Amino acid sequence: MLSECVAAYGNHSGKRMLVKNRDKAYKPTLDFYHEVREGTEVLYYIDEAVKHLEGMNEHGVGIIYTTSNFQKDDADMISDNIDTVLDSLSKETARDATGPVLSLKGGVHGLIYISGPDGTYLVEHNANTGEAKVQKINLKDAWSVTTNSPSMLTGGIDASEGENYISSQIRKAVAEAALYGIDNVEEALEALSYKYF
């Protein structure tokens, strides 16, 4: 089982998929909501213990993220990502949804996948410096996997972190291998939850 945080975006035969495995050291209490916000129907969950929210909207925009690449795992509590991600989920396009995660209340800190019919973006945002980079992901019949190691920014987990870096790289490699060739959400989620070690 990949017991630490792994997030992935897949595009297979035109189907976009966002999947994630969370790494919390506690049993989270998740509350699910289905409502209209700023005229847009949204479905999301909140983990109130750490102010973490992920979800999707009626326009096909979805947001998932990891938060521990540049700071402690409780960074959501400091930045209150709930309002920020909800604002992003009220947007009609993935491109527009990147705005709030970069600016509203300091933005969402970590590695963020934002996917919509107009495209999929990987956002890396360093909580300590405010530095951010956005990359549009162009995949066909493949997966993009992220853990705690940024690919565009420095200052996250790197080789100097020793075991943490090794763990992050192993998780990424295992997730990439586990997702290889999978083209549906159910199998992707099953692959991430399999007990590999």
Strands 6-12 and 15-21: antiparallel
> Are the C-beta atoms of residues 116 and 94 closer than 8 Å to each other?
yes
Q: Residue for token digits 């200052």? A: 155
* Angle between helix 94-103 and helix 81-89 axes, rounded to 10 deg: 160
> Are the C-beta atoms of residues 37 and 50 closer than 8 Å to each other?
no
Q: In Å, how far from its chain's centre is CA 50? A: 15
Burial 32-71 (b: 16+ CB within 10 A, else e): eeeeeeeeeebebebbeebbbbbbbbebebbbbbbbbbbb
Q: What angle do CA 121, 127, 100 make, to 5 degrees?
A: 45
Mean pLDDT per 10-residue section of the chain, whose length is 197 residues: 74 92 79 96 91 94 80 54 92 96 81 95 82 92 87 75 82 92 93 77
Handedness of CA 24, 94, 110, 163 (dihedral sign): positive
- Per the DSSP assignment, residues forming a β-bridge with 66 are 111
Backbone conformation region of residue 106, classed left if phi is above 0, alpha if psi is from -120 to 50, else beta? left
- Per the DSSP assignment, residues forming a β-bridge with 116 are 119
Looking at residue 55, what is its pLDDT?
97
> Are the C-beta atoms of residues 97 and 85 closer than 8 Å to each other?
no
CA distance 153 to 70: 10
